[in-house]
Amino acid sequence: MDKKVILSGVQSTGRLTLGNYLGAINNWVEMQEKYDCYYMIANSHSLTVRNNPEELRNNTLKILALYIAAGLDPEKNTIFIQSQVKEHAELAWILNCYTYMGELSRMTQFKDKSLKHQDNINAGLFTYPVLMAADILLYKANLVPVGEDQKQHLEITRDIAERFNKLYGDTFVIPEAYVRKETARIMGLQDPTSKMSKSATNLNDVIFLDDSEETIIKKIKKAVTDSENVVRFAPETKPGVSNLMQIYSAITNKGFEEIEKDFEGKGYGDFKMAVAEVVVGKLKPIQEKYNELLENRDYLVKVYTEGKMKAEKIAIKTINEVKEKIGIL
């Protein structure tokens, strides 16, 4: 039987966080053995906000280096840069014509982002989910690993695919979201009621993947908790400690009950040190590999060029099938 196809991606804006890593890339590593995986760097999606061009270029390579440093094997996966496979833009245009303004207006991410960037509510921000649908449908992905915040975009992808299939006969595979409950949402350290975000204004809220050991320890020590001083998982009433448990669990693979047992009778001070230790332990080798890779541009270029060629093969097949069906010469 053919392997199931997986596709996912990370935007190339800003510095990556521990949330990006534990919520996404870390989970992908185990999937590479079982599935036919496509991992892209969503640099075209990044254009919905204003970027410094040099920074955007660098960030694209940084994410590529991180994918590899985190353990994604370029031989086993197709790792590529979105903008290099032109079929993404091409299919996005076509799918735009099969997507309704009403549907797009209901996207919570669009509503949130247009509130945040009132000076730049561009059409790309509005049709962002359609480009994402194109990313997914081009490769006929069965499963799409995403965080909770992207589930709605997957729903609209399914709606667009079903609509198209109904009009023109079976063309697209209807993809499913693949959300890992335990690590779907790593929250901020200072405000554990909202997602850890690279655009947070309080830098202590976020662990960046390139933070130094000292910085990581300092940030975790400062993390907001509560006055109970008991390590217990209760996201509603103890969001801070529960978030630290989530981080600890994602790295050690221990369940929450086990963690509670391990830290019985110990206070938050001990627990925080233990969390800091596993985070540093996990990130250090990745950081070393990452820095090494960034020094080796030729290798990165080779990886993304090969990735582009592998991705293109599938993408061209799908776009030709679509054009044939709709009557575009």
- Measured CA distances, 129 to 17, 84, 115, 191, 202 (Å): 23, 19, 17, 28, 29
Question: Which residues contact ligand TRP by CB under 6 A?
Answer: 7-9, 11, 42, 45, 132, 135-136, 144, 146, 150
CB of 241 to ligand TRP, least distance (A): 27
Q: In what order do the strands lie in the sheet with 78-81?
A: 78-81, 36-42, 5-11, 143-145, 176-178
C-alpha closest to that of 27 among 166, 144, 180, 252: 180
Identified catalytic residue from 198, 266, 323, 325: 198
Question: Is 76 marked active-site?
Answer: no
Nearer to ligand TRP, 153 or 238 (CB): 153
Question: Is 325 marked active-site?
Answer: no
Identified catalytic residue from 195, 219, 272, 282: 195
Query: Which sign, positive or negative, has the C-alpha torsion 130, 132, 133, 137?
Result: positive
Nearer to ligand TRP, 161 or 241 (CB): 161
Question: Is 195 marked active-site?
Answer: yes
Name, in order, each residue with C-beta under 8 angstroms of 22's C-beta and a sequence gap of 6 or more. 183, 186, 247, 250, 251
Q: Return the bridge partners of 42, or none.
A: 11
CB of 99 to ligand TRP, least distance (A): 15
Alpha carbon distance 137, 160 (integer Å): 10
CB of 199 to ligand TRP, least distance (A): 12
Alpha carbon distance 226, 312 (integer Å): 51
CB of 41 to ligand TRP, least distance (A): 9
Nearer to ligand TRP, 272 or 308 (CB): 308
Nearer to ligand TRP, 187 or 259 (CB): 187
Alpha carbon distance 217, 215 (integer Å): 5
- Nearest residue to ligand TRP, scored by beta-carbon proximity: 42
Point out the residues that are catalytic.
113, 195, 198
